[in-house]
Amino acid sequence: MSQSATIFNDPPRSYPQLIATYGFLPNLFRAQSTIPRAIEAEERLIDTVVVCQGRLSRGHKDAILNGVATVRGSDYCRALFGHSLAAVPDRNFALFDFSLKLAKHGPWVSGRDVLTLKNSGFDERAILEAIVTTGVGLMLCTLADGLRPRLDTELRSPAPAELLNVPDPLDWPKASGVHLAFSSDSAVDSPAFAVLREQFGYVPNLYRLQSAVPELLDAEVQLLDSVLFPEYGLNRVQKECVLLAISAANLNTYCATLHSQALHILGVPLEESDRIVEDHDQSGISGTDRTLLDETRKLASLPGRSSQRFEPERLRKQGFTERQIVEAVVVSGLANFLNTLQAGVGATADFPPRKIFGPKDLYLFSDRSRPISDATFPEDPDAALVARVRDGDIDVFEELVRRHSRRVFGTLAGLLGNIDDAHDATQEVFLKAFENIGRFQGRSKFSTWLTSIAINAGTDFRRQRRPLESLDETQDDEGFRPRQVQKWADDPERLLAASQMNGLVREAVLRLPEKYRVAVLLRDINQLSTEEAAAVLELSVPALKARVLRGRLMLRESLAPHFVRQDKTDA
């Protein structure tokens, strides 16, 4: 890749245009004055997406922007967007709900959501406008989170409560694919495509899909050309690492794949990108860059508003200049914009993904534990030890390993079916727990959190060895019905020696399809409560119960021939 190839040579007229848009020059843009090109590119995107008349009215777009700022918890943006509202926004349209889902639960948006909108009468252009408006809203909220500008105007009202409760999504989309496409052959020779080819070596599908909307494509490429490609402050590798880390935190398989490849072209091995995706602390990047990713990852748009705020002071201590810190925030805003755009339009990966994200991956990237009520759990007996480890008393971790090694091993042995692998994986789970203990917020029991790590580690371990039998995919077991209906002996445990019994149960458990096996492991072998097991597997309680019951019935079927009563006495 070469240095930036600027194709847009307009003079810096963004301030007057911003004043025309908002009625004043918002502090959010003043705070970026060290990077005037970024301000220009942002202004152009805002003008193209929000100000210019399209299928959606300005009122509809302002309503979406307000909704995004509300679910994101950005008071600054609520005040900013509210200021530009001509009237009370119309929230009673399906695109508004779609945009809120995209803003809060982007990875859960599916082709079905888009199809529902089409069936409701919205054309593809209107849907695209809603998607891009949501992306712009999230980008500006990210900038406000990182730069913390003073409010331009007072907030006129508290956040509308009904918007703060966007329902949690139920199902992870089973299929990835294109939701919307505006491809045009005439764009092949466009200047925007030329820039993309020069920088990436090809035109990524995300941009190719928008080729029939040249004004939007140009605005997006200007943003890349002004924020990502130049190497005045942060270098390109650092910026691509930020894009990769945030895409991973946002569970965006497409964008993580794209930026891994971009780093590869810049000389960063794919394996190094894999480590950044999994846990940048374990990658080979410098301590300075780890801090950069620590902080920018906090600006990721998932899971909603992070409880940990971006801390520019940590970056200053590492020697980053003020300009570089602003640039880090702007690149983070770009990452959230691109992730949102991709989640909405659904571009398919340009290369085979190194990792396909699922809801389980939310866990390690989140600074909070799973979204379950504190009241679900009794007081955590490990809380005091965990607090001491978090305060730096490393030796105390030994007691936590001692307390939980058998449970973790049991989970992994049941998942992997191999004792040696389970031994190795157990060590890795505790190391990972130690490294991430700063992110454990105590909203579940420590043991539950640890079990989640074990499930993720075991699943990854299996993935490395053979094609994965997904925990989430529906398997062809709908026809399962109990066939063994003879009465069992009164005391089946006495029929076999303990070692025989262990072998029998072990084989039966390992024969279960993985999704039922894991459910049974957590409930009946690890003795987790239904709620804890559901939280670990990120299932609803009814879904977890259904899997446990099916798993138990399948086990019963396997064990029955060994335990049926030999006499024919009736029940």
Partner 1 sequence: MLSCADFLAEFGDYIDDTASSDLRAHLEEHLRECKTCRVIVDSTRKTIDIVTESGCFTLPAEAVDPIVSAVMSRIRQRTT
Distance between CA 434 and CA 245 in Å, rounded?
20
**For partner 1, which stretch binds (CB under 8 A), given 32-40, 238-246, 360-368, 558-566?**
558-566
Q: Does 525 bind partner 1 (CB under 8 A)?
A: yes
Count the residues of the shown chain that bind partner 1, applying the rule CB under 8 A: 54
Q: Does 519 bind partner 1 (CB under 8 A)?
A: no
**For partner 1, which stretch binds (CB under 8 A), given 167-175, 287-295, 409-417, 444-452?**
409-417
Distance between CA 496 and CA 478 in Å, rounded?
32
Question: Which of 16/503 has CB closer to partner 1?
Answer: 503
- Min dist. Cβ of residue 457 to partner 1 (A): 13
Per the omega criterion (within 30 degrees of 0), is the bond before 561 cis? no
Distance between CA 188 and CA 211 in Å, rounded?
8
Closest by alpha carbon to 521, among 410, 370, 405, 359? 410
Closest by alpha carbon to 243, among 190, 296, 287? 296
Question: Which of 5/419 has CB closer to partner 1?
Answer: 419
Sign (positive/negative) of CA torsion 552, 557, 562, 565? positive
Q: Does 286 bind partner 1 (CB under 8 A)?
A: no
Q: Would you tell me how many other CB atoms lie within 10 Å of the CB of residue 423?
A: 13
Q: Does 184 bind partner 1 (CB under 8 A)?
A: no
Question: Which of 105/404 has CB closer to partner 1?
Answer: 404
**Identified binder of partner 1 from the candidate list 397, 463, 469, 470, rule CB under 8 A:** 397
Q: Does 437 bind partner 1 (CB under 8 A)?
A: no
Q: Does 509 bind partner 1 (CB under 8 A)?
A: yes
Closest by alpha carbon to 139, among 77, 188, 211? 77
Output the DSSP codes for 515-571.
HHHHHHIIIIIS---HHHHHHHHT--HHHHHHHHHHHHHHHHHHHHHHHB-SS----
**Identified binder of partner 1 from the candidate list 414, 440, 462, 534, rule CB under 8 A:** 414
Q: Does 98 bind partner 1 (CB under 8 A)?
A: no
Output the DSSP codes for 66-89.
HHHHHHHT-HHHHHHHHHT-SSS-
Torsion (CA) 28, 30, 35, 37 in degrees, nearest 10: 80
- Min dist. Cβ of residue 520 to partner 1 (A): 7
DSSP class of residue 122 equals -
Cα atoms in the Cβ-side hemisphere of radius 13 Å centred on 97? 12
- Min dist. Cβ of residue 516 to partner 1 (A): 12
**Identified binder of partner 1 from the candidate list 111, 355, 434, 460, rule CB under 8 A:** 434
Residues 6+ apart with CB under 8 A from 204: 196, 258, 347, 350
Q: Does 436 bind partner 1 (CB under 8 A)?
A: no
**For partner 1, which stretch binds (CB under 8 A), given 53-61, 320-328, 390-398, 454-462?**
390-398
Cα atoms in the Cβ-side hemisphere of radius 13 Å centred on 321? 9
Q: Would you tell me how many other CB atoms lie within 10 Å of the CB of residue 230?
A: 19
**For partner 1, which stretch binds (CB under 8 A), given 21-29, 145-153, 204-212, 544-552?**
544-552
Question: Which of 57/502 has CB closer to partner 1?
Answer: 502
Question: Which of 343/555 has CB closer to partner 1?
Answer: 555
Q: Does 163 bind partner 1 (CB under 8 A)?
A: no
Q: Does 94 bind partner 1 (CB under 8 A)?
A: no
- Min dist. Cβ of residue 488 to partner 1 (A): 4
**Identified binder of partner 1 from the candidate list 13, 174, 406, 465, rule CB under 8 A:** 406
**For partner 1, which stretch binds (CB under 8 A), given 72-80, 191-199, 338-346, 559-567?**
559-567
**CB 365 within 8 Å of CB 436:** no
Residues 6+ apart with CB under 8 A from 431: none
- Min dist. Cβ of residue 545 to partner 1 (A): 5
Question: Which of 30/403 has CB closer to partner 1?
Answer: 403
Distance between CA 42 and CA 133 in Å, rounded?
13
Residues 6+ apart with CB under 8 A from 192: 7, 207, 214, 217, 218, 220, 221
**Identified binder of partner 1 from the candidate list 183, 286, 427, 441, rule CB under 8 A:** 427
Distance between CA 329 and CA 351 in Å, rounded?
28
Q: Does 482 bind partner 1 (CB under 8 A)?
A: yes
Q: Does 563 bind partner 1 (CB under 8 A)?
A: yes
Q: Does 1 bind partner 1 (CB under 8 A)?
A: no
Q: Does 505 bind partner 1 (CB under 8 A)?
A: yes
Question: Which of 216/522 has CB closer to partner 1?
Answer: 522
Q: Does 426 bind partner 1 (CB under 8 A)?
A: yes
Beta bridge partners of 564: 488
**Identified binder of partner 1 from the candidate list 95, 293, 372, 548, rule CB under 8 A:** 548
Q: Does 503 bind partner 1 (CB under 8 A)?
A: yes
**CB 377 within 8 Å of CB 534:** no
Rounded to a whole number of angstroms, the CA Rg of the chain reads 26
Question: Which of 153/475 has CB closer to partner 1?
Answer: 475
Closest by alpha carbon to 350, among 239, 208, 210? 208
**Identified binder of partner 1 from the candidate list 501, 511, 518, 533, rule CB under 8 A:** 501
Residue type, 451: T
Distance between CA 271 and CA 354 in Å, rounded?
9
**Identified binder of partner 1 from the candidate list 217, 276, 520, 535, rule CB under 8 A:** 520
Q: What are the backbone dihedrals phi and psi of residue 468, each rounded to the nearest 5 degrees, phi first?
A: -80, 140
- Min dist. Cβ of residue 206 to partner 1 (A): 38
**Identified binder of partner 1 from the candidate list 549, 561, 566, 568, rule CB under 8 A:** 549
Closest by alpha carbon to 561, among 480, 492, 512, 497? 492
Per CB under 8 A, residues contacting partner 1 are: 394-395, 397-398, 401-402, 405-406, 409-411, 413-414, 422-423, 426-427, 430-431, 434, 481-482, 484-488, 492-493, 501-503, 505-506, 509, 520-521, 524-525, 527, 530, 545-546, 548-549, 552-553, 555-556, 559-560, 563, 570-571
